[in-house]
Amino acid sequence: MTDYAFGLLLIHNDDLVEPGEGFDMHQHSDTEIVTWIVDGTLRHRDSSGSEMTLSAGQVEAITAGSGIRHAEVNAVGSTGRDVLRVIQMWLPTDAEGLQPAHSTADLNEALDAGGLVTVVDGDGADGAAPLSIHTAGARLRAARLVAGKSVVTAPSAYQHIFVVKGEVDIDSESGSDVLQEGDAARLSDDGAVRISGHGDGGDAEVLVWEMDRSVRTEPRWGQWRNRGVTVLTRPSAAG
């Protein structure tokens, strides 16, 4: 975790789950977990009795709080062929021992309408955000971009730009670069960033975290650092 934490992101995993596979019941506490469904269908069930399936363009937010047990698996059985791909992101919670909570949203319509769509807001100040987490200063936004179309991020102390699909051009105070599927740019104090669909990459999808501080300066960073969580994020491209 110490090598991958950036801004308020503790973990940013790009996971492929084969048919019939997944994560059986396991417990989390005092963590905010956001999962973005890229391809396939995710089946979720948890200790609150909640059970549902989520597909591409849908997102879930979990406040683990005082403790929640959940299982997440590829909804396609072992005889199926569809691989599940999800992006899972962990952030620190601002307070320990909160009431566990689970919420979901479907962003497909908003994404297809264009622009940079607010997905999760840690401050509660953005009334457009369908989901909230208990991590002040963190906001997740998403966009689908055709070639030549652009969005501009808000200036932030830390920005994590991840290419879910396709290719994009990014332009910032640090310079310009082309990012492909699975690439990430991590930018610090870099002002607004323009993200454009790349001419040869087809339709693109991006996830953008805008964050106001680093988890490494948090009083509980030592606890997180010593948890020994395996991080599966693909290598990042420098911004």
Residue-wise pLDDT for 52-93, tens only, equals: 899 999 999 999 888 888 888 899 877 778 999 999 999 999
Q: Is residue 239 part of a domain?
A: no
d(CA 237, CA 162): 10
Q: Is residue 160 part of a domain?
A: yes
The strand pair at 131-132 and 117-121 is best described as parallel
Q: Any idea what the CATH number is for the domain that residue 183 is in?
A: 2.60.120.10
Q: Is residue 92 part of a domain?
A: yes
Find the length of the chain.
239
For residue 144, give both structure tokens. 């689908």
Q: Do 130 and 177 touch, CB atoms closer than 8 A?
A: no
Q: Do 206 and 217 touch, CB atoms closer than 8 A?
A: no
pTM of the model: 0.89
N-to-C CA span, the chain = 20
Q: Is residue 4 part of a domain?
A: no
What average pLDDT score do residues 207-225 get?
84
Q: Is residue 21 part of a domain?
A: yes
* Average pLDDT across the chain, whole number: 87
Q: Do 208 and 159 touch, CB atoms closer than 8 A?
A: yes
Q: Is residue 199 part of a domain?
A: yes
Q: Which domain range does residue 175 map to?
A: 11-225
DSSP 147: B
- For 162, the 3-state DSSP assignment is strand
Give the pLDDT score at 126: 58
Nearest to 95 by CA among 133, 130, 132: 133
Total domains, the chain: 1
Interacting residues of 28 by C-beta distance below 8 A, sequence separation 6+? 62, 64, 67, 68, 70
Lowest mean pLDDT among 3-7, 34-38, 107-111, 142-146: 3-7
Q: Is residue 236 part of a domain?
A: no
Q: Is residue 232 part of a domain?
A: no
